[in-house]
Amino acid sequence: MNTSLILMDWILTNGLRLTLIVVLGCVSIYIIRKMAQKAIQAAIAAHRGTTSESDAKRVTTLTRVVMRTVMIAIVAAVGMIALSEIGINIGPLIAGAGIIGLAVSFGAQTLVKDCLAGLFILLENQYSVGDRIRLNDLSGEVTDITLRRTVFRDDAGSLHSIPNGEIDRALNFSRTNAHIHVDISVAYDADVERIIATMNRVGAELAGEADFKKVLKKPFVFLRIESFGETAMTLRACGESVSTARAAMAGAYRLRLLNALKQEGVKIR
């Protein structure tokens, strides 16, 4: 009976406080997430003066990093308070954590380097989640960024995780449009003017298709005679698209141009 009364008394006092602490922690995370996202979005919009898809990616990336840091801090604080409510003396734990942190700091130069590099990547907006990038000699689409590492998926589907401190060169293909060159080789006795007209017509038709209007920024047009070979000359067409659709647009144009030239009886060498 005494045990039951003691347990009931603990539930009504410490138990309620413990529950309230956990609930407040969860509510704090939710509120901070909403506030952080709006604050970051407002700050970026005020800095740029406009909002765009790249700004939305940056908001998502920065919000993720901020919330991970906040969650670690809140979970640690809630955990300490919860242990105190259970009756565990957290004084030695805090002192031990300080000693461990000091010991780890001496061997964590690489971690500090990675985090500092990650901080500058975010502050300078070098790339964001969803961007098409090349880090060192690897290319892919960014799937996640933390202060310590960048994660991206290459064209083969492999997932790469690179510590930010090891990134020597970063190329972002998503911030500017890509110029696309498509070459075809035809015989010297071919009707060049007719082929050029076909190249321009196919480019205009491709630009008018609903599936490509958003990604094809400038239609393919004849650019120049690129070179002369032993048995054929090379004609070059040029177009412009968003960088992530460069290969797809080049392939789509080649296919349509091939079919159009076949219908006109032009042989491609």
Any domain includes 114: no
Closest CA to 122 of 160, 167, 72, 177: 167
Any domain includes 221: yes
**What does residue 227 show for φ and ψ, rounded to 5 degrees?**
-165, 165
Strand order across the 138-145 sheet = 159-163, 149-153, 138-145, 132-135, 170-172
Residue 144 and residue 65: Cα distance in Å, rounded?
A: 10
Any domain includes 117: no
How many separate domains does the chain show? 3
Q: Give kind and range of the element (H or E) at residue 187.
A: strand 177-187
Residue 221: predicted pLDDT? 94
User: Which residues span the domain enclosing 35?
Assistant: 2-106
Averaged pLDDT in 10-residue chunks for the chain of 269 residues: 63 74 84 80 63 66 78 81 74 65 62 83 83 88 87 89 90 83 92 92 91 88 92 93 84 93 87
Question: Do both 11 and 89 map to the same domain?
Answer: yes
Specify the 3-state DSSP secondary structure of 151: strand
Any domain includes 122: no
Residue 170 and residue 121: Cα distance in Å, rounded?
A: 10
Residue 209: predicted pLDDT? 87
Whether this prediction's pTM lies above 0.85 is answered by no
Question: Do both 26 and 53 map to the same domain?
Answer: yes
